[in-house]
Amino acid sequence: MTAVKSNRETLMEDLQAIDWSRARTWQEEWQKAHGRIERRRCAVVDVSGPEWDGYVDLYGRRQALRVERERHVLSSKTSSTETAWCLTSLSHQEAGPQQLLALTRQHWEIENRLHYVRDFTYDEDRCRARTRHLPRNLAALTNAAISIVRRSCFQFMPEANRYFAARPQAALDTILTLTPN
């Protein structure tokens, strides 16, 4: 599944121009968590046919999604609505609107648990490494460090970083004693 963001202007415009009135839809009920009440709705259109070639132009695309989120923050009593656009290579037989909505929620879990940590805790966006394979290798090492910390007893990444920075032998011991899941 690919979340289409504003940096893919043409693709986003193509998705917004689709006639969503004939889409298969599924609505998730209101959910109260994290100090807010949310409702999500998912509309899905099959874009696997040849009539979509050159229109929604992404290799392997089978379905287009429009996910609408309504949020009501309880403490500030503010409301907001957001629309996200996605494409997936799953066919309508493999995943319907309900399953695709669950997949988009899992995508945000990954975004929050990995990319946020990489961007803010490890400040990866300011990294100046641009030579050959170095950026990819550094990202792989960062992912390995995050995975090791997640499997150890720490709940917060900065706390673990401070602990292991002061105790390099503990870091090595943690790496050497990890057992596969």
**150-160: per-residue pLDDT in tens?**
877 787 888 88
Spatial CB neighbours of 4, under 8 Å, sequence gap ≥ 6: 11, 12, 15, 85, 86, 87
pLDDT of residue 14: 86
pLDDT of residue 131: 82
pLDDT of residue 166: 94
Q: Which tokens in the block code for residue 109?
A: 């879990």
State the CB neighbour count (10 A cutoff) for residue 94.
12
pLDDT of residue 10: 85
CA 71 – CA 145 distance, rounded (Å)? 34
> Cα 61–62–64 angle (5° rounding)?
85
CA 20 – CA 175 distance, rounded (Å)? 50
CA 136 – CA 125 distance, rounded (Å)? 13
Q: Which tokens in the block code for residue 145?
A: 């460090």
pLDDT of residue 181: 63
Ranges in the chain, pLDDT < 50: none
pLDDT of residue 143: 84
